[in-house]
Structures are given as C-alpha cells and as structure tokens.
Structure 1
C-alpha cells in the first residue's frame, strides 16, 4: 500500500524523535582568582564557593579556582582591571587590592578605624556596605558577598613594639597601596612596597625588618622562620574580602543562576568569616608556642598609635568620601 506523503513525514519525524540522542544540559566553567591558596582562610573561601555552586547546580556550573594571583602573573593589584576587562570571570578579592580602582574601598585601610570584629560587621552588613558595593558595581564588577581576611598585625625582627616610637626607622614591607605608605610614614617607619613573593626573601636577608599581615598568614607562611620574633597585636586595619563577578558573565546568567551564584557566595562568605574568627585563639597560641614574643596593647598604648596617625585621615577622607567615612564612623559608634 502506498504511504501518503503526510503520513510518511509524520512517521519519519516520530522515528527521528525516538532515535535522536538526548543531549546533556550545557555546562559552564568559570575562572576564580584569589591571592592566597586554600592553605589560608582566603583560599578556603573561594574553594567553598566553588563547592557550593557545583553542588547546587548539580555540576552545571563549575568554578575553577586559580590561587596565588596566577591570572595576573602574581600582581594582585591588577586583578580588578583584569576582571573588569573579562580576563577573569570571578574573584574572591581583597579590598586593599581593589582600592586603586575603587577609591571608596580605602575606607577599610584607614588606620585604627575598626577596633574589633563588631566594627567590621557594622560597616559591611549595613548601609555603608551597600554604598561600597554600589561603588564597585559602578566601576564594572558585580559584588555578591563579603568574606574576611582579618585584622593585620605588625611583626619585626628588632624589638617589641608597644608605642609609635618603636616603629621609627623600621623598614616594613607593605602592600601596594599609597595609604599604607602614608600610615607607616606617619609613624616614622620606612615602608617598602613589594609583593608577598618578594617579601619572604627580603625578610630572610634582613633587607626589611618587618611586615604586617593577618595572624592566619603569619602562622601558615611561618613568618617566624624568617626572623619575625616580635609580634604586636595592634588591629590597625582589617581587610574584608569581596566575592565578585565580571559584569558580562553576570549578565549572561539566567535569573535562577544569578540567585544560585550569589547565595552560594553569601553562604561561603559567612562560613569563612565564622571559621576564621573561631580559629584565631588557637592560631595565636600556636604562634606563641614557636617562641614568638607577642605584645598586646593597653587602651592607652593603642590610643597613642591612633593619635600618631590622625594626619592620614586629613589626607584620605576627601579621597574616600567624607560622607562615607562619617557614616562608617557613626555605624561603628552605634555597634
């Protein structure tokens, strides 16, 4: 019997539908830049984000973490620009490293602005934090959540430090931020900008006398092994982390995936902050067990450092934004 053309077409189409392969849902891989590896809380935050995204998307989205600022040849201050241009998809980044491109982020580097963890939260979790995220967004990167690198403490190979006079003349390694140079210059030190990769050899040879970093970095990097036997807990500034995404990548995502990515960042950030803070006591105990002399400032000693660096505020408040600085100070006072 002759098959009518229409019936044949329907039969053929049905056959193709029954035999055609079922294609898997499209998967996407994104690069994530960090400065530190997962030996440190910073790197752990990025790995946690990747883990949550992979789990919640059922493997449809994969975040590949590149530690040690690999994607910018070790120059962490170039990370924001590389992200904005699309060379990097995502990052878990330091406010310090992004501050050259986003001046408002210098707020966190103002000396002795935040005396404790509640003060950090007062900024990041309130209206000031929202304004800072808006500033990052305006500069071309989508910020999603906060993490934490911790308070930066001061170590040196010469002597204990419990007052500004003890800092005078010390050669101190600082990150690539003009505000850091101004702060240590105000204290009479000789600040030297260099990458962390260059810092340890310089500490080993005595080319520099000291450095400033969170306790987690001091511990894991074994800074005590390069002559840093004196550590002062002065809490002169804290360095929140930011989970961010390239704008083009962000816009390419469905609303469902945007929600998934951001909530995973929020959850990873909260996990990392809690973990970092809960480990501080044990980290400090470990550092002391290695023979490092730890100095904890009295309120009066702390105030002497605050007074000695007051001029930094006069120079930097206009650059950061007087209204933003005032709002942050009010939020801290009300914490």
Structure 2
C-alpha cells in the first residue's frame, strides 16, 4: 500500500469540494524575528508593543503577511503541490489580528475549474480561510492556480469561473477592535505623511531595491511550510531553475514600500493580485505604488487607503503594461490592497 502523497492533480478537483488542510501552526515571536530578517519590514505597529499600545491595541500583532503566508502554506500540499504557477488573488479580507501564541489552521473550498486549451493543465479556483484556535476566521481570500494533469486523457470538467468582485468595498473592511490613531506618533513611525496627504492617482517610487538570494528564498518558503515542488526541486522545471515563491515577492515589495508609505500600517483587504512574470534568484526587486482610492472608517483617527503595489526586476518606475496591454516583462507583481493609515 502506497503511503506517500503525490498531491492532487487537476482532474482530482470537484466544484464544492471542501478540503481541511493538515498541520496547524502555533506562531510566536520567532516568526516575527525571521520575517523581519528576511524582509526590510519596519512598520512601527508590528515592530513595537509600546507603539501598538499607544494605538489602542494590547500589543504589537504579527505582520498581516505572516498570517497570509502561514494560511497559504497550509493549503499548498492540497491545492498547489503540482502547480505550474500561482496566478492571482481576489476578495481577501484580514478579519482579526494574529498574536504571538495563536494557532492557525486552513481550509479551502473549490469554487472554479477551467481546463487549459493544451489539455495538460487547468486552473483551479479556491476560497481559503485561516482560523485561529477559537475557530475565528482571521483571513479569507480567493486564489487561482494552474495545476498539472496526471492523466492527459482525463475528460475536461465543466468550466466554472467564479464571478469575483474587483474590489472589497470599504464598508466591508474590518478595523481591529480598539485601534485608535488620534495620538499617532509620526516621528516614531518614520514619516510625517498622513492619509490626507495622499491624492488618488498619486504614484510613489519606493526607490530601494533588494536582490533575491537563493538561500533566503528557500528559508522563507520552508518557514511557511510551502511544499510546492517548483520552489524546491530544480528538476521540476525545464529551465532547471527554482521558482521564487510569489508570496516572497509580495512581502519584499510591501517592505520596500515603507519608503513613502511608512504610515500604511495594517493590511486589511486584498482586492486583487497577479504574479505577472516569474522571479528567480539573482533578480533585484524594486517597487512602486499608486493610490487608487481612499475611504474613512468609523475608528478614531483611522482612514483606509487603497493602493496598487507593483514589484519589478528592472525598468523605469510606473511602467506597467506594453503597447499591447500585456504586463511588461520586468513586472513581477501587480497587487491591489487596502491598508489603514492615520488621518
């Protein structure tokens, strides 16, 4: 009897299938330390208990993307172990802070299937949820991933592509209980720019760059217990390269955005995202942002700002698509998200 798991292939997924993912993960300050060692992350709310307390929280929560990577990593053995590539995200909401000592687990529901025209792979759409030890949903998002077929002769399923909203409505964003930016310390946060200083349409070049190293990428992907073969096994791709985990690029770009968006403290919504081109070791990641929208919240001193975050491996800032409307070859990531900022 075979005891090892080769993972699911495209023909193994069915619409409505719910998958409870294995191995819950208890998070600690160790994850924060490693996250801040891997990425130039400096947002004050995640770095200082005292800054967080002055902002109405009991202590500094873990970075939102730590929660995202942990929940995502749990889904990989069941959703994207045999992936060709992770393609995009939509309708994501961060519903509650994650604190050191919390235990996260994940579950996913298959909400869409579409076989590719080559008959060798297909796109699987799942809605994944991260739950803490109390059964509270801390994160909910949709992603879609291209997965290989095991049997090329397996019949194509009925095509179901979910109707996904372009943006999470500002009124559906969840502001952590107690968050209060009325006494926000801009000096300690690192920049003076508040919500009112940003204009819709404004573009910000984050200036700095970080060269992706193989060892750091491998450490990060293991940290999140992401077992996708394309990230570890150099024989899994025809070019003999290990694909950099897309979440590694997301965290790198978000950390680089500190220079110009130091006060975009908490990520609360994930409107959409695309990994436009693959990233490999040796690529130097740079980032720029565009302000897409702004909204007030009911929390004292707290505004919501919608941002497009673009990561590139070269080229001029603010260049996104070519004359044919396709992503330029140097664009790695196009991410649309909501963050909370002092008014």
Q: TM-score, normalization: structure 2?
A: 0.27
Decide which structure has the larger Cα Rg and report it: 1
Question: Higher helix proportion, which one?
Answer: 1
Q: TM-score, normalization: structure 1?
A: 0.28
